[in-house]
Structure 1
Amino acid sequence: MYILVKNLNGRLIFIMDNEVDFEVLLNELKGLLVQSFFKKKDYYPKAFFDLKGRILENDEILQFFGVLVECKSLLFGGFIEEKTEEKKELRMIGASIHAGEKIEIYEDTLITGKINPGAIVQVYAKLYVMQGVFGIIEGQSEEACISSQRFKNATIRFFGKSIHHFTTFEMSLVYYKDNDIVVEKGDYIHV
């Protein structure tokens, strides 16, 4: 069998093997749909089809719907799209950023050290700083945000707006929203 049928909350899900020839799948689907457990008077279960990444050509789509119309035993609910979660890598800088250094952060990054006074970090993504921010952070995009447990006399800049001498000793998230710099403090910040 190349088609697995599951019942999920009264809906049928047809999981179709994507490594077998499409004609074989259509023949098996037709064989399944003519069986008695799919034929009930005035009852047509809603069915979804998981093609496991197979992309159908126009003629294959017509053949597929031709089988469904010919068998008249289901309501077509749609195709299930395989969700692929984008794996984001977290870049790690295993040191502190020192006075006079200027770095640019283009990807989500963890700095295990601190950002010292006199250091400038330009951020285009998410930045996590373990030992504290004491230097200058410049947010360069709407997606940029900075998270640290400690900020002391830090300067935070986003699009012409600045916070000078920013000091806090609790977990904080700093980002740009609605034309202003937002600071969330506490254990339940939204990263």
Structure 2
Amino acid sequence: MVQKKQNVTIKGTKEGLIFILDDRCSYESLLEELVEKLSSKHYQQSEGPDVQVKVDIGYRYLQEEQQEELEDIITNGRNLAVEQFESRVLSKDESEKLRQESQTVTLMRIIRSGQVLKVNGDVLLIGDVNPGGTLMATGNIYVMGSLRGIAHAGYEGNYNAVISASLLAPSQLRIADEILHFETDKENEKMMSSAYLDDQKAIQVGRVQQLVQTHPQLSKNEKQLLV
């Protein structure tokens, strides 16, 4: 006898329960099995705090009313509370944000004193950041010129972001929420240098070649090389 495939799998964790909903069956079949499984006395209302539930819907896209329907089925008459729905489907806004964060924006300009420039993703600046100027990016910052102002990489919390410059002589470097101040004199100027966070989240400054060992993930699109 062939065993019927389960469309709903319920697992217990230290934090509560995980409902794994098959993303290949019909929505109606999913509802039918979910109602059947939750009809067990084990899931009926009992004393005590609500049990937190995470609902994994895989690659299924749910309309808002469908999500509300599932939540109502899970919680109605039971001490269960839906903490979140986990989906592997990206919305258009999420997809566009990921695209922007993965791109490298190339700029040819000088950022002058008082100017603040913000970029989604990595930025390659062919030019200078003058004293008093600020360059910010959600990703990495690469300056083919003099960096004498402020550079803030990973400003939305990316601790893996790096800053590189042909001439590194900033007044301040920031990576995520970590800050490093510099004295503005020629003795502190560094050629072809980079900055990154170490394991203790302290900003380290060294030769740009060090990134080969510390940040190999910076290498992108190597498949496009014509060997």
> TM-score normalised to the size of structure 2?
0.45
2:27 corresponding residue in structure 1: 22
Tell me whether 1:6 sits opposite 2:16 in the alignment.
no
The structure where helix makes up a greater share of residues is 2
Matches within 5 A, 1:21-170: 21-39=26-44, 41-42=46-47, 45-52=51-58, 54-58=61-65, 60-61=66-67, 63-68=69-74, 72-82=77-87, 86=98, 89=102, 103=108, 108=122, 120-121=127-128, 125=137, 126-127=140-141, 135-137=145-147, 143=153, 146-147=163-164, 151=167, 156=170, 163=184, 165=186, 166-168=188-190
**Root-mean-square deviation (Å):** 4.8
Amino acid at match of 2:141: L
Gaps of 5+ in 1: 92-101, 111-118, 175-183
- Structure with more of its chain in strand, by fraction: 1
**Paired amino acid for 1:13:** I
* SS at structure 1 position matched to 2:36: helix
Gaps of 5+ in 2: 1-5, 110-118, 130-134, 155-161, 173-182, 197-202, 207-214, 216-227
Deviation at 1:81, TM superposition (A): 3.5
User: Identity over the aligned pairs, expressed in percent?
Assistant: 18
Q: By how many angstroms is 1:140 displaced?
A: 8.8
Worse-superposed segment, 32-41 or 21-30 = 32-41
- TM-score, normalising length: structure 1: 0.51
- Compare relative contact order (CA 8 Å, sep 6+) and give the higher one, 1 or 2: 1
